[in-house]
Amino acid sequence: MNLSLELSKKQTKAFQILNNKTTSVLVFGGAAGGGKSWLGCAWQITRRLAYPNTRGFICRQQIKDIVNSTYKTFKKVSNEMGVNHLWTYNDLKKTILFNNGSEILLIEAKMKPGDAMFERLGSTEYTDGFIDEATELHFDAYDGLSSRIGREHNEEYGLIPKLLMTCNPKKTWIYHLFYKPFVNRTLDPEYAFVQSFVDDNPKISVHYKDKLEKLKSDVMRERLLHGNWDYEAEPDQLIVYEWVEACFVKCS
């Protein structure tokens, strides 16, 4: 099946990585408006159509954010690719069902009482997966989900486990596990990192970039406009957010 895909240079690079035989985890991260969610949705659509009876997932911290944001992008991408007739959406099960037997599950990965280790995420097997806004997730959620991919018809199609994570800069576990090793050229050979910027997306509205340029917070502007991962905290901030988050990670 020949699918129409108009990709930016950064998205093309990411697609090449997502289709290689060596990279198991790709982080596509940087400024807002860099085409991150579009990339993830396009990749999941092409995978499900190319490999019948396979199962992928789209994950965010909260299901409402998937339905209200990522899934809306999914529908736009599908419409642009001309494949709306090849799938249906089951809102009750939060599942996208393809005519060829493939499916994409929409997964919520927020921490819940009684499931601090995210054991509920280990009950389903997947071919591959896409975590949108990955810096929202606790490390254990990522760890649990990554252990479930590569178990659904991968050997039949000769597919290695693949996980795509998209995000804006934030000093969480992604910063320490992926971004800093990428900058220092010490990134694990099975991992890849592609830095995206707002100007890398030829489809971005000039009004969108203008709003980013007018952000009042220096930190927000550095993160979302310039894609700066080494931003400094606000000058009047008493406790750095990442310190609080690191405390919870160590104590969990």
Residue with tokens 């707002």: 198
Q: What is the CA radius of gyration of the chain?
A: 18
Torsion angles phi and psi, residue 201, rounded to 5: -100, 105
Separation of alpha carbons 162 and 160, rounded Å: 6
Specify whether the CB–CB gap between 140 and 115 falls below 8 A.
no
Torsion angles phi and psi, residue 225, rounded to 5: -90, -45
Q: DSSP letters along 72-87, please?
A: HHHHHHHHHHT-GGGE
Per-residue pLDDT of the chain (252 residues; tens, 9 = 90+): 556 677 888 899 999 999 999 999 999 987 776 788 999 999 999 999 999 999 999 999 999 999 999 999 999 999 999 999 999 999 999 999 999 999 999 999 887 776 655 666 667 899 999 999 999 999 988 988 988 888 888 999 999 999 999 998 888 999 999 999 999 999 999 999 999 877 766 666 666 667 777 777 778 777 876 778 888 765 555 455 555 545 544 444
Helix (H/G/I), strand (E/B), else coil: 155: helix
* Residue length of the chain: 252
- Which residues neighbour 79 within 8 Å (Cβ) at sequence distance 6 or greater? none
Residue 162, token pair as written in the block: 């693949």
What topology does CATH give the domain 11-251?
Rossmann fold (3.40.50)
- Which residues neighbour 158 within 8 Å (Cβ) at sequence distance 6 or greater? none
Residue 230, token pair as written in the block: 């080494």
DSSP class of 122: G
C-alpha dist (Å) from residue 88 to 4, 23, 124: 20, 30, 21
- Which residues neighbour 115 within 8 Å (Cβ) at sequence distance 6 or greater? none
Structural domain boundaries in the chain = 11-251
Closest CA to 175 of 129, 139, 217: 139
